[in-house]
Amino acid sequence: MSEKKLAFEYCDQLVRDFEEAIENPIRNKSSVYYTGVDLGTACVVLAVLDENRKPVAGAYRYADVVRDGMVVDYLGAIEIVRELKAQLEEKLGTELIYAAAAIPPGTDALDSGAIKNVVCAAGFELTNVLDEPTAANEVLKMENGAVVDIGGGTTGISILKDGKVVYIADEPTGGTHFSLVISGAYKKSFAEAELYKRDVANHKELIAVVKPVVEKVASIISQHIKDFDVQEISLVGGTSCLTGIETIIEKQTGVSTHKPRNPMFVTPLGIALGCTQEGRY
């Protein structure tokens, strides 16, 4: 079996285990628990791993506390993380102490302080802050290629060489733009369009409606990878959940494009994998 196929299988199995842990938390005693806190534009996700780095619990909530990687509702973000933390602690019968967080590529100087403060104010001891593509690659295990994070407000592109990020970019096109197009096409409010987009049953018809926006995302990817020898693209982020998005991107970019199982959960799991018991934060 090829190394690439093994990496894909590891990623998909980890996500599958996490999905099961969300529904049925594993209450076995662990000497330590590691939590990944992913403050996304559309969704806040907490992923909990045990001492063996296996998923044991998780929770998520759709929210509007972050926009384009920036915390815009500080108190709201704290409250959501605090409530999700309490829910998971009750399910696991233990206190969750250690957490890691992540920030979009290139935004460390802009807003990492707010994200750190949200996690700490929610009651965690923050032990690590990763950039989102590095976190995602903890799960993807990509050596050479591009991790493309299609989030709510932006598309982040990170190019890896020998497993290390060598180039990053973040462009303002993402799920919000998909929802605006859907809102206009179906005469729905933005909130209604968001809900309609999340329903997998609607994806087959929606892919044709939002195809121009997907092609715009593909053109952004093409622009940023053109000076690099990128042989594969892996899609992560909630917007990547749209059925068929990978086919359009592969056709437009001409680069083999892989979409893992439930790409919304890849980054939070990677953040949890990057959590430690000691840190400098």
Q: What string of pLDDT tens digits covers the 281 residues of the chain?
A: 456 666 688 999 999 999 999 999 999 889 999 999 998 878 899 999 999 999 999 999 988 877 766 777 888 889 999 999 999 999 999 999 999 998 877 666 555 578 888 999 999 999 999 888 889 999 999 989 999 999 888 888 999 999 888 998 888 888 899 999 999 999 999 999 999 999 999 999 999 999 999 999 999 999 999 999 999 999 999 999 999 999 999 999 999 999 999 999 999 999 999 999 876 55
Whole-number Å distance between alpha carbons of 88 and 124: 13
Q: Which residues of 138-152 are buried (b: 16+ CB within 10 A; e: fewer)?
A: bbbebbbbbbbbbbb
Start-end ranges of CATH 3.30.420.40 in the chain? 3-136+265-273, 142-261
pLDDT on residue 26: 95
- Residue pair 239/178 in contact (Cβ under 8 Å)? The answer is yes
Architecture of domain 3-136+265-273: 2-Layer Sandwich (3.30)
Unique residue bearing structure tokens 């807003």: 111
Choose among 248, 115, 232: nearest CA to 178.
248
**Which CATH number is correct for 142-261, 3.30.360.10, 3.30.499.10, 3.30.420.40, 3.40.50.300?**
3.30.420.40
pTM, rounded to two decimals: 0.91
Choose among 128, 189, 177, 185: nearest CA to 151.
177
Q: What are the beta bridge partners of residue 134?
A: none
